[in-house]
Structure 1
Amino acid sequence: MLNFMPFTFKRLSIPDVILVEPQSFSDDRGFFFESFKESDFFSNGIDKKFVQDNFSHSVHGVIRGLHFQKAPKAQAKLVTVLKGKIFDVAVDIRKNSPTYGKWVSEILSGDTHNLLYVPEGFAHGFCVISDEADVLYKVSNEYSQEHERSIIWNDPKLDIQWPIKKPIISNKDNKLSLLENLDNDFVYRDTS
């Protein structure tokens, strides 16, 4: 009997951010894949318990983010796209981190079913690069307005290379803080 591995886990250039690629099985009926399996995720460094699922539908050019929650309601996120395609971004906001203020991105697509794990201590955002996109993400803490914080999407020090010319931004997201002015209590701890 073959040893079935339903996922591939790939650490990105900021190694705490992990791209998860599920193995999909297709036939004339359609396709099937496991989108989450706690034991496999735990054994590959994603050891958070997810307690809430969030869903968003957005049209081409929408940027959502860069959002996070402060402790004690900090959130790790597991992001996937059900339909469409997004440019997904995680920004390291942990003070004293060797990658503080750096970002990584991945294209997430409803065709590939890939997922991005964004740990606590990172701001998260995405922009829609298809006509529309349905995004589903799991979070490790319930939403708390009191702990919600955000960074403006076009912070010049971050210099995120969003792949769209005319972004659609909410009024709320257009009035956010720069990273350097952020009320932020995340501190990097080397666990190696």
Structure 2
Amino acid sequence: MADHITELRLKCLERGASGIHGISRTFRNMDVDHSNWLSLKEFRDGIKEFGLSFPESSVEELFSYIDKDGQHGILFNEFLEALRPPMSQTRISIIKEAFAKFDKTGDGVITLEDLKGVYSVKHHPRYINGEMTEDQILRSFLDVFDQGVKDGTVTEEEFTNYYSGVGANIDTDEEFVKMMKTAWKI
């Protein structure tokens, strides 16, 4: 089972440089009826479309493994959780530190209000030329991390999922920590 999950994870990640966002696109492509969950048929067809050739029994086992709630359908969060690469405690800690920097209210969600005063748009070209307002730029920034329905808020789980995908392309914890510290000025 672990080999099949690993193979599927690698296929999903190689289809998009932005890791988990690539998996999100993969899920949407597999969800041909746009029901926001995958049936066994959609999952099976998606596996074939990826060029993976698992025996039918393995596809069914993989489907059941991912379908954590046993509802005979795979929800996006189940899909994401199963395919998210495992992370070390070092990586999880630096992600939490970055999240906390932006979650000014400490409520576990980053909103536009949390970002104001922490993320400056004053030097953003689209702000300078008047093409976008501060709120529009901050919202587009949040959308990078916002998974599934774009609701203008980013949970710690969404933030972690994003960096789990990014981290899949970074070999060592030291490189990952350096990247996070540089990106978030922590």
Shorter-normalised TM-score: what interval?
under 0.3
Higher relative contact order (CA 8 A, sep 6+): 1
Q: Name which one, 1 or 2, has greater alpha-carbon Rg.
A: 2
TM-score after normalising by structure 1: 0.25
